[in-house]
Structures are given as C-alpha cells and as structure tokens.
Amino acid sequence: MSILLTEEQELIGQSAREFAKEYLDPIAAELDHTGTFPAAIVKQLAAQDFLGLFLEGAYGGAEAGYVSLVEVVENLSRSSAAVASILVNHSLAAYAIQRWGDAAQKQAFLPALASGGTLGGFAVFEHGPTPGVGPDALIATRHAAGWALKGTKAYVRNAGAADVYVVLACTDPAAGAKAQAAFIVSAKAIGLTVGPLADTMGLKGCPVADLVFDDVVVADSALLGGPADGPIITAETLALASVAEAAQTVGIGQAAVEHAAAYSKTRVQFGRPIATLQAIQTLLAETATDCHLARLGLRCAAKLMDEGQPFMVEAAMVKQFLARNGSKLLIDTVQVEGGFGYSEFMPLPRLFRDIAGTTLLEAPADYPEKTIAAALLA
C-alpha cells in the first residue's frame, strides 16, 4: 500500500495550511482565551469545501476522501485544534448519515452538511459508566408517532452550535449498551435543550455541553440504519474519530516541534545557540520522529477507508500510539524552550491544553487495546 499523497491530496493539504495561516493564526490565542464559537470561521470552512470533503458528489460533497480529510485536519490543527475539532465532530455526524442513511435521509441532510448550511454533531457518551446504563441514560421508547427520547447525552461537542445531531439511544434498558439505536435529531426538536457549556481545559471555541432530552418525539424516519445498528455505528464512527483526532494531535505536535526548533536557534546560552547542544537536538529529533510515524499510521488508516477496507484495528493502533506519545510531544518541546516555553505569551501552553483533548476525547481509555487484542486473538 502506498501512503504517499496524490497531487490532489497535497494541494488540499496546502490549501488548508494557507487557510490556517490567513484565518486561524490571527485568532488562535484569542479563541483560547474567550472560548467563543467562531461562527464566521465555520462559514469560511464551508466555502473551502472542508465540511464536505469525503461526502459524495451527488449530495454536494467534494468526494476527496478520508486521506484528504486528515490532511485538512492536521494542517488546521497546526494553527487551531479547536477549529479542527468543530470540523471533526461535524464530520462524524456526516459520516454516520452517509454510511447508514437511506436515500431519503441522505437527500434530506447531506447537501446541507456538505455546504455548511447545517452543522452536525455526534452524541454518544453519557454520565453513566457506559451508554445505556445509569439514571440519566438516554432511553428510546416506542411511541405512537415513532420514538420518544428521554435522558441525557454528555460531553457533546458542537453542542448548541449544531443544527442536527446523530444521537445514540438505548432501546431496551435491561440490555443497556447492547441495545443501542441511532437517531437523527434536529437541534430544534421540542423537548431538546442544551446544558451549560463546559469550561474545558483546551480546544476552547469548540462548544462542549450536555444534551437533555425531555420526551423528544422523533418519527420512524429519524432512525439511522436498523434498530440494532447502534453498536456498529458507534464503533465505526468512533474509529473515524480516532483517525481524525490523531491528525489533530500530529498537527499540534508538528506546530510545537517547529516552534521549538525555531526558538532553539535564537536562544543563546553558554555563548552559543542552544540548537547546537546535543540534548536539545535529541529532544527535537525524537519529537519529529514521533510526529512522522504517527502521520504515516493515520494516513494508512485513512487510505484503508478510501479503499473501502476494514480500518478499525489500524485506527486503534494510531490512537494507542498517540495516547502514549501525544502529551510527550509537548513535554519535550516545552523542555527545549524552558521557562519561556512555559509562559502564556508563548503558544506551547495552549498547544499542551489542546493536545490533551485530542488524545482523550471520543473513546474510552481501554478501546484501543481491546480492539487490537481482539484482532490478534481472533
């Protein structure tokens, strides 16, 4: 399998990098301080076709594929991982609808998701130990008009900003997580409210909040896939999340490495730039190598998706690798910059906070190991 980029993919990545330099670099620090949702930036993402990169052309998508998606996510994240996070969660909802939606659902939702007229959100997690378990679990009950949804989804990104959510709900409380179904729910649905925005450590500007469902009634046409498809929709969509968030992590790490390398050439100690010190060179070499290897892994997983091949094990491997090395990228680059790097007027503290989110969100801690071990032991 070749993991080199095509000319088109290189151009898309270059376009994202230029976009990030022009639009994201000037606002990244302010966005980190205010946490205000960057609505104007999201419209500009749509104008660049970034919101519909992998969607089918029949629905207004660019049909550029998942390798192109991770190129865009990485290059945006080098400037603002928060903006990239908005794109990632939108893409999860769009992916689920394209992958499991029927013809009517695709026609109803994908064109607006591709054009940016609709922003998507993907809601799977809850406050209980696992979705479908606990007093606040979101339960879907058969209703005369279709289904009634009652309960809470937790830590939903794009909450309050999204126009439509793909929501996982339990159809049999006795079965818990094993009885999950996915529904497409309008943000304007009666009985749906957004809880207070969470004051997150990083990725500020990508809103995170609970979605509270108080007997929200949705028609049968809102059911995505079959009533028993929730577990596979969750697993596969979260595998895509692992790949996309790996691209975020690599983008943040690359930005940190480049900043530390540039700083090391200007910081003089003992009468010479610290870039000449072997210890500094070792830190830079190790962090650059980790970024490179992770980038190859996530491109491999994305290429498998483009080819319609199984990709969940490769996605889990990328997630596991970066769970171990993601934060280390920032620890090592901060060491290069010393006390200056630790100061808030430098970008590394923001990158440090953001990279914690990209390695922790969207999947439980034991997900990668279980997926990889199950494939090995099958």
Q: Return per-residue pLDDT of the chain as tens, 378 residues.
A: 456 899 999 999 999 999 999 999 999 999 999 999 999 999 999 999 999 999 999 999 999 999 999 999 999 999 999 999 999 999 999 999 999 999 999 999 999 999 999 999 999 998 877 787 888 899 999 988 899 999 999 999 999 999 999 999 999 988 888 899 999 999 999 999 999 999 999 999 999 999 999 999 999 999 999 999 999 999 999 999 999 999 999 999 999 999 999 999 988 788 888 889 999 999 999 999 999 999 999 999 999 999 999 999 999 999 888 888 888 888 888 888 777 767 777 788 898 899 888 877 655 445 688 888 888 898
175/184 Cα distance (integer angstroms) = 22
The pLDDT score that the predictor gives to residue 362 is 59
Assess contact for 68 and 304: CB atoms under 8 A: no
Tokens of 193: 């409210």
Assess contact for 225 and 236: CB atoms under 8 A: no
Q: Which long-range contacts (CB under 8 A, 24 or more apart) does 328-332 make?
A: 328/287, 328/290, 329/249, 329/252, 329/253, 329/256, 329/257, 329/287, 329/290, 329/291, 329/355, 330/252, 330/253, 330/256, 330/355, 332/283, 332/286, 332/287
Tokens of 63: 């049909």
Say how far residue 257 (Cα) sits from the centre of its chain.
22
Tokens of 263: 């700083």
CATH topology of domain 121-230: Butyryl-CoA Dehydrogenase, subunit A; domain 2 (2.40.110)
The pLDDT score that the predictor gives to residue 45 is 97
Assess contact for 326 and 293: CB atoms under 8 A: no
The pLDDT score that the predictor gives to residue 341 is 66
Domain 231-377 is found in CATH 1.10.1750.10: no
Right CATH number for 7-119 from 3.40.50.300, 1.10.540.10, 2.40.170.20, 3.20.20.120?
1.10.540.10
Say how far residue 196 (Cα) sits from the centre of its chain.
21
Which strand (E) or helix (H) includes residue 303? helix 278-306
Provide the annotated active-site residues: 362
- Within the chain, all domains assigned CATH 1.10.540.10 are found at 7-119
238/245 Cα distance (integer angstroms) = 10
Which strand (E) or helix (H) includes residue 66? helix 66-77
Beta 120-123 vs 164-170: how paired, if at all? parallel
The pLDDT score that the predictor gives to residue 1 is 46
- Within the chain, all domains assigned CATH 1.20.140.10 are found at 231-377
Q: Provide CB contacts within 8 A for 4, sequence distance 6+.
A: none
317/51 Cα distance (integer angstroms) = 26
Name the one residue in this structure whose structure tokens are 């519909």: 52
The pLDDT score that the predictor gives to residue 261 is 92
Q: 105: number of CA atoms within 13 Å, CB side?
A: 24
Assess contact for 357 and 200: CB atoms under 8 A: yes
